[in-house]
């Protein structure tokens, strides 16, 4: 979501002649987009702002803007701590980001016609809903992003159409809880069905899905609609019912497993990825083992594991954070190792087989493509004319999470 919002902001500013560059020392303005989900993300932002202070000493006129969730959570406190910061724009104010940045730089007006990225990138993200109403006990998102709001389906559809007209082949719909999308009589299934009708669109993905809202209708749509990719990110968080309840996730492990089995039975090549938190308050060795067993049993195609980090305002921050850091680290590495092993096995079982890929980019003479299941494939000795095309590759090598192949 942050990548998507940074891209949108960048394209809005570019219509006013601003150019995005990668070398901070050449920039006239630095915009730092922040995340608040874990304390570590905020610490990274702080240490970056520390480095930026040095840049401002060399280049006093450079403007520093902090946007996003951390900006929302801390507001002017960011400015108090880092005097070099010129502007702090909280995540809830996202619609006005560009205007305020333009004001800071003395630009006078902003056109309403700039909300679509005009570049012709092959894969584009689009936010279909903002905020979240779920209040998972550990999560700061509902506090920094506000309540869940689904965006106008017609607006979303029109933006998708423009993107496709400009050359986009794959669209990823984004929301904290995409499958609970509802705008008047349009639900997520009808929105997706409609977008899939756009001529020229080849692939559609969406994330993140909350297990409590994953309907049979949506699973059936993935089966019947060819453009929907066979990949679903379905955060499990824990394999222990006790912990899931404490987390306020509103499903049991049995329900989660039923969804996974249902998906695997109906879509044989579905790729399922997940998020797991270890060391949530009160997580015993047995609870942790339930998560470990779930990971071994389900064999996710990909998994992100996080050490629980208490976040201000959340329900869990009032609970006793009783799992010591060392123990959290131990549990984290057990899950990570198990998941890496499974991932490596899955990836190496793909060697020798042929998959359809969409080429997204070309870097250092290597074509970067992606399978329908979302895995990146690198193709050497070819040319960039393949970008934007769908074709078959045979996988001839695998390394941890990367695949290498030849066009067949
Ligand atoms: N809306 C998405 C999640 C957004 S946050 C969803 O419901 O899946 C992304 C991931 O960060 C979460 O799935 C969770 O695993 C992790 N996370 C969120 N808050 C956390 C915290 N306080 N400590 C550790 N991990 C956390
Ligand atoms: Fe956070 Fe839960 Fe909402 Fe995801 S669904 S953003 S984890 S509160």
pLDDT at res. 111: 44
The whole-angstrom separation of Cα 346 and Cα 275 is 18
* Per-residue pLDDT at 108: 53
pLDDT of residue 107: 61
Kindly tell me if the per-residue pLDDT of 141 is higher than 80. yes
pLDDT at 93: 87
What confidence score (pLDDT) does residue 205 get?
A: 97
Q: Which atom of ligand 2 is nearest to the CA of 249?
A: 2
pLDDT band at 375 (very low <50, low <70, confident <90, very high): very high
Any idea which architecture 354-407 has in CATH?
Answer: Beta Barrel (2.40)
Is 60 exceeded by the pLDDT of residue 118? no
pTM of the model: 0.91
Q: Using 50, 70 and 90 to split pLDDT, how confident is the model at 99? A: confident
The CA distances from residue 247 to 38, 205, 239, 315, 316, in Å, are 16, 27, 12, 9, 8
Residue 76's SS3 state is coil
Among the bound ligands, the one closest to the CA of 209: 1
- For 136, the token pair is 């998972």
Write the CATH number of the domain with boundaries 123-348: 3.80.30.20
Give per-residue pLDDT as tens, 67-98: 999 999 999 999 999 999 999 999 998 888 88
Instruction: Read off the pLDDT band of 1 (50, 70, 90).
Output: confident
pLDDT at 120 over 60: no
Q: Does 177 contact ligand 2 (Cβ within 6 A)?
A: yes
Provide the residue ranges of all domains of the chain, joining segments of one domain with +.
2-104, 123-348, 354-407
Q: What is the rounded CA–CA span in Å between residue 404 and residue 247?
A: 40
Q: What is the pLDDT of residue 44?
A: 95
- Range with the poorest average pLDDT among 55-59, 294-298, 301-305: 55-59
The predicted pLDDT at position 114 comes to: 41
Q: How confident is the model at residue 103 (pLDDT cuts 50, 70, 90)?
A: confident
* Cα 89 to ligand 1 centre (Å): 22
Q: How many Cβ atoms are within 10 Å of 260's Cβ, its own excluded?
A: 23
Query: Which atom belonging to ligand 2 lies closest to the Cα atom of 135?
Result: 8
Decide if pLDDT at 119 tops 50: no
Interatomic CA distance for residues 38 and 174, integer angstroms: 20
* Confidence category of residue 229, pLDDT binned at 50, 70, 90: very high
pLDDT in tens, 250-286: 999 999 999 999 999 999 999 999 999 999 999 999 9
Contact 275, 161 (CB under 8 A): no
Fold held by 2-104: Rossmann fold (3.40.50)
Q: How far apart are CA 168 and CA 384, in angstroms?
A: 16
How far is Cα 10 from Cα 18, in angstroms, rounded to an integer? 8
139 in ligand 1 pocket by Cβ < 6 Å? yes
Give, rounded to a whole angstrom, the gap between the first and last alpha carbons of the chain: 35
Distance of alpha carbon 199 from alpha carbon 263, whole angstroms: 27
Average confidence (pLDDT) over 357-380: 93
Beta strand spans in 199-331 (E): 203-207, 231-233, 271-278, 302-307
Residues 342, 301: Cα–Cα separation, whole Å: 8
- Considering only residues 17 and 377, tell me which one the structure prediction assigns the higher pLDDT: 377
129, 235, 251, 317, best to mutate for ligand 1 pocket (most atoms within 8 Å of CB): 235
> What are the Cα distances from residue 292, in Å, to 32, 38, 91, 118, 305?
36, 22, 35, 45, 11
Helical spans, DSSP H, in 15-128: 39-58, 69-74, 77-81, 97-104
With bands split at pLDDT 50, 70 and 90, how would you rate the model's confidence at 160?
very high
Task: Provide the pLDDT for residue 22.
Answer: 80
- Using the atom order of ligand 1, give the atom closest to the CA of residue 134: 7
The reply to whether omega before 62 is within 30° of 0 (cis) is: no
Question: What number does the ligand 1 atom closest to the CA of 275 have?
Answer: 15
The answer, yes or no, to whether any atom of ligand 2 lies below 6 A from the CB of 141, is yes
Average pLDDT over every residue of 144-172: 96
């Amino acid at each position: 979501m942050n990548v998507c919002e940074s891209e949108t902001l960048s394209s809005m500013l570019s219509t006013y002649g601003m150019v995005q560059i990668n070398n901070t020392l050449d920039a006239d303005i630095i915009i730092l987009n922040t995340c608040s989900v874990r304390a570590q993300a905020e610490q990274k932002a702080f240490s970056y702002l520390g480095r930026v202070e040095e840049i401002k000493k060399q280049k006093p006129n450079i403007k520093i803007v902090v946007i996003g969730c951390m900006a929302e959570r801390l507001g002017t406190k960011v400015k108090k701590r880092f005097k070099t910061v010129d502007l702090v724009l909280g995540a809830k104010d996202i619609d006005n980001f560009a205007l305020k940045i333009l004001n800071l730089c003395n630009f006078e007006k902003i056109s309403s016609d700039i909300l679509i990225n005009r570049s012709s990138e092959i894969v584009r993200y689009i936010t279909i809903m903002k905020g979240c109403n779920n209040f998972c006990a550990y999560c700061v998102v509902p506090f920094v992003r506000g309540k869940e709001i689904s965006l106008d389906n017609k607006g979303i559809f029109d933006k998708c159409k423009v993107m496709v007209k400009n050359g986009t082949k794959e669209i990823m719909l984004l929301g904290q809880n995409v499958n609970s999308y509802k705008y008047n009589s349009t639900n997520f299934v009808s929105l997706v069905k409609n977008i899939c009708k756009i001529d020229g669109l080849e692939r559609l993905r969406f994330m993140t899905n909350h297990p409590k809202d994953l309907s049979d209708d949506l699973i059936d749509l993935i089966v019947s609609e060819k453009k929907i990719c066979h990949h679903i990110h379905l955060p499990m968080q824990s394999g222990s019912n006790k912990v899931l309840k404490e987390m306020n996730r509103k499903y049991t492990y049995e329900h989660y497993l039923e969804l996974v089995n249902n998906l695997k039975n109906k879509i044989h090549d579905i790729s399922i990825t997940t998020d797991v938190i270890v060391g949530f308050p009160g997580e015993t060795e047995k609870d942790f083992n339930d998560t470990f067993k779930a990971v071994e049993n389900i064999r996710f195609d990909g998994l992100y594991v996080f050490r629980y980090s208490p976040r201000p305002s959340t329900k869990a921050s009032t609970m006793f954070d009783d799992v010591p850091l060392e123990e959290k680290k131990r549990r984290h590495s057990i899950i990570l190792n198990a998941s890496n092993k499974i991932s490596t096995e899955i990836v190496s079982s793909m060697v020798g087989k042929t998959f359809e890929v969409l080429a997204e980019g070309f870097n250092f003479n290597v074509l970067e493509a992606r399978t329908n299941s979302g895995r990146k494939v690198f193709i050497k000795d070819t040319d960039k004319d393949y970008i934007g095309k769908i074709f078959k590759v045979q996988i001839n090598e695998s390394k941890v999470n990367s695949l290498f192949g030849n066009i067949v």
